[in-house]
């Protein structure tokens, strides 16, 4: 685009007497992608530590199938979970992971449930040494958005998995 001399002259006439503004706002430099990723991981680790305490011991009945119902929820939800009335929309397989890796993956699953508005998810722990199988419910009951959890029915993993109901936002 070519600017005519008359247009330039007209522009200068219009801005005659205008005062030049000084730039007084600070624009923070952008974080490099590697630093940004490290920051996100640090925030996620802090979230995990906030929600998932290893010292917390909920009153879960160990002799029966693991189940939990948040206070104020309908007791019929546990029966529906046990029967398999809810089909999980997300699956998390924790086979072969350490406790810390499992904690991070569990936090990511709960974040995904919240972000994607997912109501039911399945967490597969496997049999193994039972370390994760015992710890996962203890972590889950600490999260404020977990409504209920129950050992999964056979079609969703049986004794080696849990089904969780997550609080969703009505749209």
Structural domain boundaries enclosing 105 = 63-166
User: 24 in a domain, yes or no?
Assistant: no
Domain count, the chain: 1
Per-residue pLDDT of the chain (171 residues; tens, 9 = 90+): 688 899 999 999 999 988 888 878 877 776 667 777 777 766 765 665 556 656 556 655 555 677 888 888 888 888 888 888 888 999 998 888 888 888 888 888 888 888 888 899 999 987 766 777 878 888 888 888 889 888 888 888 787 888 999 887 765
Q: To 10 degrees, what angle do helices 99-116 and 131-140 make?
A: 40
**Residue 122's pLDDT is what?**
92
Question: Which CATH number goes with the domain that contains 101?
Answer: 3.30.1370.110
What pLDDT shows up at residue 9? 92
Rounded to whole angstroms, how far apart are CA atoms 127 and 141?
Answer: 21
Q: Hey, what are 47's tokens?
A: 């979230």
Q: Which of 49, 68, 72 is nearest to 59 (CA)?
A: 68
């Amino acid at each position: 685009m070519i600017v005519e001399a008359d247009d330039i002259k007209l522009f200068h006439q219009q801005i005659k007497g205008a005062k030049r503004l000084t730039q007084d706002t600070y624009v923070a430099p952008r974080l490099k992608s590697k630093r940004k990723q490290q920051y996100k991981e640090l925030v996620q680790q802090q979230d995990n530590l906030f929600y998932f305490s290893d010292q917390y011991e909920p009153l879960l009945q160990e002799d029966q199938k693991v189940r939990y119902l948040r206070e104020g929820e309908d007791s019929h939800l546990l029966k529906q979970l046990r029967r398999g009335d809810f089909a999980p929309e997300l699956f998390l397989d924790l086979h072969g992971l350490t406790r810390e890796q499992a904690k991070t993956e569990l936090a990511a699953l709960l974040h995904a449930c919240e972000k994607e508005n997912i109501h039911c998810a399945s967490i597969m722990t496997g049999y193994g040494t039972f370390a994760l199988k015992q710890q996962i419910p203890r972590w889950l009951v600490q999260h404020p958005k977990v409504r209920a959890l129950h050992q999964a029915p056979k079609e969703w993993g049986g004794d080696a998995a849990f089904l969780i109901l997550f609080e969703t936002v009505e749209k």
